[in-house]
Amino acid sequence: MADGAGSSAFGWDVRGRVSCGVALTAGKLSRLLRAGSGDVIGGTIGLKLDPALLEKLGAGREVCLVSGTNGKTTTTRFLADALRTRQAHDLITSQGGANLPSGLVVALAAGRAGAPAVLEVDEAYLGIALLALAPKVVVLLNLSRDQLDRTSEVRMLASRWREVLKSSPSPVVIANADDPLVAWAAMGVPGVVWVAGGQGWHVDAVACPCCGEPLSFTIGGWSCSCGFARPSVQAWLEGSELHMADGRRWEFHLRLPGDFNRANAAMAAVAAQAMGVDINDALARMEKVESVSGRYALRPVAEASQPGHIQACARFILAKNPAGWAEAFGILFPRPAPAVVAVNARVADGRDPSWLWDVAFERLRGRLVVATGERCYDLSVRLAYAQVEHITLQSGLEALLAASERASSMSLRAFDVVANYTAFQHLQRALPAAIRCGCQQGGDLGCGDLVTQPTHPTPTDATPTGAAPVTDAAPVTDATPTGAALRKEARTIPARHPSRSEVCIANIFPDLLGTYGDGGNAVVLARRLEWRGIPAQVVQVQAGTPVPEHADLYCLGGGEDAPQARAAELLRLSGSLAKAVDSGAVLLAVCAGFQIAGEEFSGPSGSRLAGLGIIPAVSVRAKGRRAVGEVTSRPVRGSGSLGLAGELLTGFENHAGITTLSPVVSPLGKVLKGVGNGTAGGGEGALHGRVVGTYMHGPVLARNPKLADWLLEMALGPLPPVDLNLSGDTEVAVSRLRAERL
Ligand code: GLN
């Protein structure tokens, strides 16, 4: 153990000293054996030996914590650099994104006793860190959907923050006033400093966290009819200036790209001030940051065997969740620069890649995309349905080389790599080490100037005329046929409404029931019709707007408890969905939607709420753990005879509900893996006339195209096969994805 390292904080506390020493040694060993960074294993062992270790390590030092879904690592880096103006040598800070309690233990144990610390904290562990470390300053950045298999619901996280902030010893809280969930968590905390950091992603806060009514967003504000509104701010951004309510302002220009990084810098600057640093000095330090843990760095791409043969540089961008991908897409090199996109679904990434359908991949049209990572086939399916030209390569290095080659064939010197957490690390390692060193003198390669190159929106940012633009707020709205899709002669439309020229698919309340990627089901249905030459239209029915009665197919998706209750109430009041189903429309109801379609379900506070009574079924909340994980089911005989024979269904479940079907209803399938309805018979979902209920996300129709085709045939009668020229390699990617999962 290093002299003066954290253990000396313990005085004569032998248990603390020993645990601290063991944590550091285990970490070192793990690094030596190349088993990992050593932070997790070392810290975990340390905490096992002494559960109070974090508290002991935090005692007697100034601590600043940074938490939120996105921007933690960058904000922590900005803040640490700013604090170095005051604390040149022994400032402790997080390394390599180790932000669980185990990582905090290792960071603190390796530093000097009493030295100040700036640490990033995983949003789900903020409570533990707050109580153990009694920080002086806490920075709350934002909350949005991420790793829902671990965090369940964004709102649940916000309410945990709210509880712990109420009860923790009062730190100075620097909170992003532009994020309603952060505002809800921090409202009422004494000493909170509100910063308008900006927040492009509002999709997880459409319903007021206080009363459930819709929040309205205006430029520079948000409010609800119940009175909950954006608090007045003490600091805000205006272009490249940071303003304070007392009239002071500072102009700053970061090397890191994107509005979101300016917001991170604003939060860090206000936090630095609370830690006693002059804002001018703080911003000057932040302006110098060029890359953070490999992010935004340009790396030349070459094979190990041909280190001199560099075609183009890769700029690495980390994006872990839909809000992060939306930010990443905003800073990409302009089209037609190719891009590598890489996704894994390990524990650290979140095991359910359904969120890919909440990302507006349509924005990548007009450039070659190379899909890679352990979930490259999920990506490929998503890209195909988004009509993005792409190739799929399992090998990370091959993917980088392919993009590099394409870039250089277009005389471009750089391209972007957007990857989620472990995929990012794997791709960084895929580049040969020798070349990696070269990159650190990136200027030699002459591509540094490309970093600041702006992106120019082109008409392909929007969908073809008449369709809603592809936005991040409604990422999967685009199902309007493109020219390519309609090259084939249009067939007669077998739609329910004789006057209509397109099959109509209504996606119900994507703003309330769109948390788990299920909006993709409507897109899959529409594309599979277009690939048969049948024009289709997806109508996104936002909450509060009339529900159409004459659509051919309806989709209900999964959602959080409170928005689910609101959706049920609106649908009951409207009555249109029940009427449409009565008159023969097909309904696919997923998870929260499945519960809503039943007779009764459990509301957010455990109360019993009325469903629509479309499926004779009742859902209650399970007492134990949520059902989270992969599900496989074998369709029951009734459904098999209708076109699913021999087909296994695959999906990802994430729910607290247990659903009991009335004896007159058949389950959709028998569970082979996972929980499904959670009742004794081992059933999954429900099949009731033209209504299909299921707990499967994925989205279920992307992972089970036969189920999609079966629903379409149920609605429209026998259909011709899809035109493989139009569907591209979708079927190949789907079958690979299914083979991985089944
Ligand atoms: N809120 C519901 C439950 O937990 C549905 C969740 C979901 O749609 N994934 O059971």
With residues binned 3-state (H G I as helix, E B as strand, rest as coil), the percentages for the chain, rounded to 5, are 35, 20, 45
Ligand 1 centroid to 544 CA: how many Å?
Answer: 21
Whole-number pLDDT of residue 246: 95
CA-560 nearest atom, ligand 1: 1
3-class DSSP state for residue 108? helix
Beta-bridge partner residues of 218: 221
Backbone phi, psi, residue 46, to 5° = -55, -45
Ligand 1 centroid to 308 CA: how many Å?
Answer: 53
Residue nearest to atom 6 of ligand 1 (CA): 655
User: What is the rounded distance in angstroms from the CA atom of residue 269 to the CA atom of residue 249?
Assistant: 12
Ligand 1 centroid to 561 CA: how many Å?
Answer: 6
Share of the chain above pLDDT 90, in %: 70
3-class DSSP state for residue 591? coil
Tell me which residue of 151, 156, 125 sits closest to 605, measured CA to CA: 156
**What is the pLDDT confidence band of residue 45, given thresholds at 50, 70 and 90?**
confident
Ligand 1 centroid to 606 CA: how many Å?
Answer: 13
User: Where are the extended beta strands (E) located within 327-381?
Assistant: 339-342, 369-372
Mean pLDDT, residues 383-410 taken together: 95
Whole-number pLDDT of residue 450: 46
Whole-number pLDDT of residue 87: 73
Asked whether residue 473 carries a pLDDT value surpassing 90, the answer given is no
Burial level of 376, CB count in 10 A (0-12/13-18/19+)? buried
pLDDT single digits (tens) 477-528: 444 333 333 333 344 555 666 666 899 999 999 999 999 999 999 999 999 9
Whole-number pLDDT of residue 199: 82
User: What is the rounded distance in angstroms from the CA atom of residue 93 to the CA atom of residue 78?
Assistant: 11
Whole-number pLDDT of residue 98: 86
Ligand 1 centroid to 116 CA: how many Å?
Answer: 42
Asked whether residue 555 carries a pLDDT value surpassing 70, the answer given is yes
Ligand 1 centroid to 335 CA: how many Å?
Answer: 39
Q: Which residues line ligand 1 (CB under 6 A)?
A: 516, 558-561, 564, 591-592, 654-657
Mean pLDDT, residues 605-627 taken together: 94
Ligand 1 centroid to 558 CA: how many Å?
Answer: 6
Ligand 1 centroid to 654 CA: how many Å?
Answer: 7
Ligand 1 centroid to 599 CA: how many Å?
Answer: 16
Ligand 1 test: best mutation among 518, 595, 697, most atoms within 8 Å of CB?
Answer: 595
pLDDT single digits (tens) 654-703: 999 999 999 999 999 999 999 999 999 899 999 999 999 999 999 999 99
Whole-number pLDDT of residue 336: 94
Alpha carbon of 699 to those of 284, 589, 695, 725: distances in Å?
46, 12, 10, 24
Asked whether residue 119 carries a pLDDT value surpassing 60, the answer given is yes
Ligand 1 centroid to 157 CA: how many Å?
Answer: 15
Residue 594 · residue 695 · CB < 8 Å: yes
User: What is the rounded distance in angstroms from the CA atom of residue 209 to the CA atom of residue 142?
Assistant: 14
Residue nearest to atom 8 of ligand 1 (CA): 558
CA-654 nearest atom, ligand 1: 9
Residue nearest to atom 7 of ligand 1 (CA): 558
CA-619 nearest atom, ligand 1: 10
Is the pTM above the cut of 0.85? yes
Tell me which residue of 595, 365, 373, 395 sits closest to 478, measured CA to CA: 365
Asked whether residue 467 carries a pLDDT value surpassing 50, the answer given is no
Beta-bridge partner residues of 175: 140, 194
CA-561 nearest atom, ligand 1: 1
Ligand 1 test: best mutation among 555, 619, 625, 654, most atoms within 8 Å of CB?
Answer: 654
Asked whether residue 224 carries a pLDDT value surpassing 90, the answer given is yes
- Which of 342-351, 392-401, 459-468 bottoms out in mean pLDDT, i.e. has the lowest? 459-468
pLDDT single digits (tens) 317-361: 999 999 999 999 999 999 999 999 999 999 999 999 999 999 999
Whole-number pLDDT of residue 42: 78
Ligand 1 centroid to 124 CA: how many Å?
Answer: 19
Tell me which residue of 592, 572, 364 sits closest to 458, measured CA to CA: 364
Residue 713 · residue 719 · CB < 8 Å: yes
Helix H or strand E encompassing 559: none
Residue nearest to atom 5 of ligand 1 (CA): 592
CA-516 nearest atom, ligand 1: 9
For the beta carbon of residue 544, count every other beta carbon within 10 angstroms: 12
For the beta carbon of residue 637, count every other beta carbon within 10 angstroms: 11
Ligand 1 centroid to 593 CA: how many Å?
Answer: 9
Ligand 1 centroid to 675 CA: how many Å?
Answer: 13
> Which tokens is 703 given?
């992972």
Ligand 1 centroid to 592 CA: how many Å?
Answer: 5
pLDDT single digits (tens) 151-186: 888 999 999 999 999 887 778 999 999 999 999 999
User: What is the rounded distance in angstroms from the CA atom of residue 361 to the CA atom of residue 477?
Assistant: 11
Whole-number pLDDT of residue 14: 77
Beta-bridge partner residues of 468: none
User: What is the rounded distance in angstroms from the CA atom of residue 711 to the CA atom of residue 705?
Assistant: 10
> Which tokens is 179 given?
């994020």
Asked whether residue 718 carries a pLDDT value surpassing 70, the answer given is yes
Ligand 1 centroid to 655 CA: how many Å?
Answer: 4
User: What is the rounded distance in angstroms from the CA atom of residue 25 to the CA atom of residue 705?
Assistant: 51
Task: Report the chain's terminal Cα–Cα distance, integer Å.
Answer: 48
Ligand 1 centroid to 684 CA: how many Å?
Answer: 15
Say which residues have a Cβ less than 8 Å from residue 508's Cβ, sequence separation at least 6.
Answer: 541, 547, 554, 555, 556, 557, 567, 571, 577, 593
Ligand 1 centroid to 602 CA: how many Å?
Answer: 10
CA-559 nearest atom, ligand 1: 8
Whole-number pLDDT of residue 279: 96
Residue 481 · residue 501 · CB < 8 Å: no
- Which of 78-87, 303-312, 594-603, 691-700 bottoms out in mean pLDDT, i.e. has the lowest? 303-312
3-class DSSP state for residue 318? strand
Whole-number pLDDT of residue 474: 38
Residue nearest to atom 1 of ligand 1 (CA): 561
- Which is more confident, 432 or 225? 225
User: What is the rounded distance in angstroms from the CA atom of residue 172 to the CA atom of residue 136?
Assistant: 6
CA-148 nearest atom, ligand 1: 9
- Which of 262-276, 487-501, 592-606 bottoms out in mean pLDDT, i.e. has the lowest? 487-501
For the beta carbon of residue 270, count every other beta carbon within 10 angstroms: 25
Alpha carbon of 15 to those of 2, 20, 114, 502: distances in Å?
18, 8, 19, 72
Whole-number pLDDT of residue 310: 78
- Residue 61 one-letter amino acid: R
Whole-number pLDDT of residue 482: 37
Ligand 1 centroid to 146 CA: how many Å?
Answer: 15
Average pLDDT, the chain: 87
Mean pLDDT, residues 61-73 taken together: 96
Strand order in the sheet with 649-655: 649-655, 627-635, 669-673, 683-684
Whole-number pLDDT of residue 184: 96
Q: To which residue do tokens 């970490």 refer?
A: 27
Whole-number pLDDT of residue 499: 63
Ligand 1 test: best mutation among 152, 555, 561, 601, most atoms within 8 Å of CB?
Answer: 561
